[in-house]
Amino acid sequence: MQRQSRDLFDASTIPNDLAPIATVLSGMLPGDWRSLRPLIDRLKCVKCGLCWLYCPVQCVIEKPRWFDFDLAVCKGCGVCAQECPHRAISMVEETGR
């Protein structure tokens, strides 16, 4: 998974052993700690939108003929796979790191 972070301001004059502060912005997106990834079967998806409604982190993205997932945001909870009436979503183990 790709880590995106950037310095918020020049903090080089602040001693690094004084107060605990974070001066680098990290999105801390849930995708960083996912253990299962949703996989969509495009042929089964009918775009009913139930996964879009149920997703607790709003990571479902609309494509022309199916729904897909923003994997930087998806935390792998599997609610979409559980709720999909057409069994178009399966959860597979995340091995990509």
Partner 1 sequence: MTIAADATSPTANRPGSVVCEGNEAAAIGVGLARPDVVAVYPITPQSSLVEHLSQMIADGRLKASLMNVEGEHAVLCGLQGVALAGGRTFTATCGPGIAFMFEPYVRTPGLRLPMVAALVTRDLLSPQCVWGGQQDAMVVREAGWIQMYCETVQEILDTTVMAYKIAEHRDVMLPVNVCHDGNYLSFGVTRVELPEQEAVDEFLGPPATNWHIALDPLRPMGVDPLTGGAGGVGPRSFVRYRKGQCRGMQNALRVIREVHAAWGELSGRYHAPLVEEYRLDDADYALVTIGSMTGAAKDAVDLARDSGEAVGLIKIKTLRPFPLQAMACALAKVNRIGVVDRSVSFGWNCGPVYQETLGALYHCGKSIPALSFIGGLAGADITVEHFARAIALTCEAQFSRAPREPVWLNEND
- Which parts of this chain interact with partner 1 (CB under 8 A)? 8-9, 11, 14-23, 25
Give least dist CB 8 to partner 1, A.
Answer: 5
14 vs 92 by CB, closer to partner 1? 14
80 touches 70 (CB < 8 A): no
Give least dist CB 58 to partner 1, A.
Answer: 24
CA separation (Å) from 28 to 4, 24, 32, 39, 87? 9, 11, 7, 23, 30
22 vs 43 by CB, closer to partner 1? 22
3-state secondary structure of 82: helix
Give least dist CB 39 to partner 1, A.
Answer: 31
21 vs 43 by CB, closer to partner 1? 21
Measured CA to CA, the distance from residue 28 to residue 97 in angstroms comes to 16
